[in-house]
């Protein structure tokens, strides 16, 4: 059994009855929608035509929101309905990033995620979803797609139907009959600043203005394409500055102990720098990383659900396990450094190197599960995160060694090695950035997000602060000698912070619906 929908746009009159019935049946709060009708127009006056698109959760057979949810708040039932349990939700917003269809929202009353659940409470007692029974044109058909005698299965088998974003591989179960393709495909829509009978939120307008500049269109769109003239509000960027800061602090936490491990493997022994300073810095920034992750939750009081009610397939959960293991190892490393055990540090060095790389790099798999954001699916993300950890770790240790030199009056011998590592890491980062931003992209959305950084409204910050200030200038300063290493490290850290912020913003700048 697999419940699904067919929406017959040959009959739909855009009356919004389905939206109203859904809100009433499920007590959906003001400003949030589980099903909604979007209007688009094509052509130039007076030769224009309006099309309707009824949008909602697609109850995918391979639902990415289920895979990424860390607490099994979202789950696929045996009847194919993708349901949710608000009592388990921690408000991490990862499901909103994973869904390619923009179907989830944060309930302002409960601060948990919610979406269409096929009116499961009605289906369980033999009733149809509220949107089906209220539609005056019977344009919404619900039923079991696996029942060949059912109306919905016959429609899918005999009519020319289409689904939204089939290339995502989610196997959606909302089929559209007679729909205008442009109404279901955001890439074919030119953004507009105004709506019929509605005002766009300022946060959305910020994104519209950016995409307008990128597409080089006027304030009223390109009349040769379709343009939305009515839609509901959507949360523009579920993840913000805290997530960007988390990438930065995590890079430092992973990088410093990886460099300490390399030093131990090189036979430097349990010095104060390697055995005590490195693990202390790692633990401090690991604590900051954890604090940022918890602070970004809509329900931080439930953060422990990640461990107590966990979904082992989610990289949010796997990442938590990595951070815990890395923290435990850092404590052990610190203990070995305090007692001065070279043998124990040497034994811990390889695990520290591997766990440090895992700490820095596991986010590549987490963002890979955010399937709604095509820009974040780059295969270069994992090496970029690991290389960034070497940049961040070396820069922080250079800054700390400069502090030690000021106090003790001696330049630690490790500073020269850190300078060499920083040069190699900065060069590697330049190569990866070229591949990520200037190379070929998997699709139009990913290419547009990259152009937002390199040629769009953020280009000045990218070229001046990231490329020149965070990469080229540090390399030039390091080549001048040890006296410029401190300034180079500060610039490299600042450039890393700015890019993480731009990368998080750009990935969420392209509309999903």
Q: What is the pLDDT of residue 416?
A: 79
Residue 248 Cα distances to 112, 168, 345, angstroms: 27, 29, 26
Contact in structure between 177 and 7 (CB atoms under 8 Å):
yes
Angstrom distance (rounded) from CA 266 to CA 270: 12
Sheet strands side by side (includes 174-177): 140-144, 3-8, 174-177, 161-162
Residue 45: strand, helix, or coil:
coil
Q: What is the pLDDT of residue 269?
A: 66
Q: What is the pLDDT of residue 219?
A: 39
| Percentages of the chain per state (helix, strand, coil), in multiples of 5 | 55, 10, 35
Q: What is the pLDDT of residue 68?
A: 97
DSSP class of residue 27 equals T
Angstrom distance (rounded) from CA 282 to CA 260: 10
**Measuring CA to CA, which residue among 9, 68, 122 is closest to residue 366?**
68
Contact in structure between 122 and 395 (CB atoms under 8 Å):
no
Q: Compute how many other C-beta atoms are within 10 angstroms of the C-beta atom of residue 331.
A: 13
Contact in structure between 62 and 49 (CB atoms under 8 Å):
no
How many whole angstroms from its chain centre is CA 378? 12
The encoded tokens of residue 225 equal 């394409």
The encoded tokens of residue 305 equal 């659900």
Angstrom distance (rounded) from CA 86 to CA 73: 6
First to last CA, the chain: 28
**Measuring CA to CA, which residue among 418, 436, 439 is closest to residue 492?**
418
- Residues 6 or more apart whose Cβ sits within 8 Å of residue 18: 35, 37, 54, 131, 134, 135, 140
Contact in structure between 177 and 138 (CB atoms under 8 Å):
no
**Measuring CA to CA, which residue among 146, 168, 152, 76 is closest to residue 115?**
76
Contact in structure between 405 and 273 (CB atoms under 8 Å):
no
The encoded tokens of residue 316 equal 């949010």
Strands 3-8 and 174-177, bridge-based pairing:
parallel
Angstrom distance (rounded) from CA 352 to CA 262: 9
Angstrom distance (rounded) from CA 462 to CA 444: 21
162: which strand partners?
A: 176
Angstrom distance (rounded) from CA 185 to CA 233: 17
Angstrom distance (rounded) from CA 78 to CA 122: 16
Q: What is the pLDDT of residue 187?
A: 85
pLDDT in tens, 308-360: 999 999 999 999 999 999 999 999 999 999 998 889 999 999 999 999 999 99
The encoded tokens of residue 74 equal 């979202």
Angstrom distance (rounded) from CA 451 to CA 483: 37
Q: What is the pLDDT of residue 207?
A: 75
74: which strand partners?
A: 84
DSSP class of residue 186 equals G
Long-range contacts at 200-203 (CB < 8 A, ≥ 24 apart): 200/233, 201/233, 201/236, 203/236, 203/237
Angstrom distance (rounded) from CA 248 to CA 177: 47
Task: Return averaged pLDDT per consecutive 10 residues of the chain, 513 residues in all.
Answer: 96 95 95 94 86 95 97 96 96 97 94 96 96 96 95 96 95 96 88 78 74 54 70 88 96 96 81 88 97 97 96 97 97 93 92 97 97 95 97 94 72 75 96 93 91 92 97 93 87 97 94 88
Q: What is the pLDDT of residue 408?
A: 66
Residue 177: strand, helix, or coil:
strand
Residue 143: strand, helix, or coil:
strand
The encoded tokens of residue 319 equal 């990442």
Full set of structural domains in the chain with CATH: 3-230 (3.30.70.20), 241-507 (1.20.1630.10)
Q: Could you give the residue ranges of the DSSP H alpha helices within 296-413?
A: 305-308, 315-339, 342-369, 381-408
Contact in structure between 24 and 130 (CB atoms under 8 Å):
yes
DSSP class of residue 159 equals S
């Amino acid at each position: 059994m697999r419940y699904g929908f067919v929406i017959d746009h040959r009959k739909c009159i855009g009356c919004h009855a389905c939206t109203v019935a859904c809100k009433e049946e499920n007590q959906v709060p003001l400003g949030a929608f589980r099903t909604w009708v979007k209007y688009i127009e094509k052509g130039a006056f007076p030769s224009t035509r309006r099309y309707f698109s009824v949008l909602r959760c697609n109850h995918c057979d391979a639902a990415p929101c289920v895979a990424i949810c860390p607490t099994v708040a979202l789950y696929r039932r045996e009847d194919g309905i993708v349901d949710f349990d608000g009592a388990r939700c921690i408000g991490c917003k990862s499901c909103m990033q994973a869904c390619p269809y923009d179907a989830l929202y944060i309930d302002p009353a409960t601060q948990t995620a919610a979406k269409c659940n096929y009116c499961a409470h009605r289906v369980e007692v033999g009733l149809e979803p509220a949107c089906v029974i209220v539609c005056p044109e019977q344009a919404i058909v619900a039923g079991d797609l696996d029942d060949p005698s059912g109306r919905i299965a016959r429609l899918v088998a005999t009519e020319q139907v289409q689904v939204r974003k089939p290339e995502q591989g989610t196997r959606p179960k909302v089929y559209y009959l007679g729909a205008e393709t442009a109404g279901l495909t955001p890439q074919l829509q030119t953004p507009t600043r105004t709506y019929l009978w509605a005002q766009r939120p300022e946060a959305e307008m910020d994104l519209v203005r950016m995409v307008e500049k990128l597409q080089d269109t006027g304030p009223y769109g390109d009349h040769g394409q379709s343009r939305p003239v009515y839609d509901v509000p959507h949360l523009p960027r579920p993840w913000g500055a805290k997530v960007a800061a988390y990438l930065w602090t995590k890079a430092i936490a992973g990088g410093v102990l990886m460099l300490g491990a390399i030093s131990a493997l090189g036979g430097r022994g349990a010095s104060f720098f390697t055995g005590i300073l490195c693990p202390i810095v790692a633990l401090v920034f690991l604590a900051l990383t954890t604090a940022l992750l918890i602070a970004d939750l809509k329900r931080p009081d439930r953060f422990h659900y990640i461990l107590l009610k966990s979904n082992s397939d989610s990289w949010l959960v796997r990442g938590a396990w990595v951070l815990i293991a890395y923290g435990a190892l850092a404590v052990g490393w610190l203990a070995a450094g305090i007692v001065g055990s070279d043998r124990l540090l040497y034994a811990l060095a390889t695990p520290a190197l591997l766990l440090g790389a895992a700490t820095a790099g596991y986010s590549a798999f987490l963002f890979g599960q955010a399937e709604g954001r095509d820009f974040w699916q780059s295969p270069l993300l994992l090496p970029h995160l690991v290389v960034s950890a070497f940049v961040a770790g070396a820069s922080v240790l250079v800054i700390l060694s400069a502090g030690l030199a000021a106090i003790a009056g001696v330049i630690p011998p490790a500073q020269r090695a850190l300078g060499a590592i920083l040069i190699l890491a900065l060069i590697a980062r330049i190569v990866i950035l070229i591949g990520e931003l200037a190379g070929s992209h998997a699709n139009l959305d990913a290419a547009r997000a990259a152009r937002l950084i390199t040629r769009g409204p953020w280009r000045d910050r990218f070229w001046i602060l990231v490329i020149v200030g965070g990469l080229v200038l540090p390399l030039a300063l390091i080549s001048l000698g040890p006296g410029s290493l401190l300034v180079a490290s500060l610039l490299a850290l600042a450039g890393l912070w700015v890019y993480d912020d731009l990368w998080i913003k750009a990935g969420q700048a392209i509309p999903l619906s």
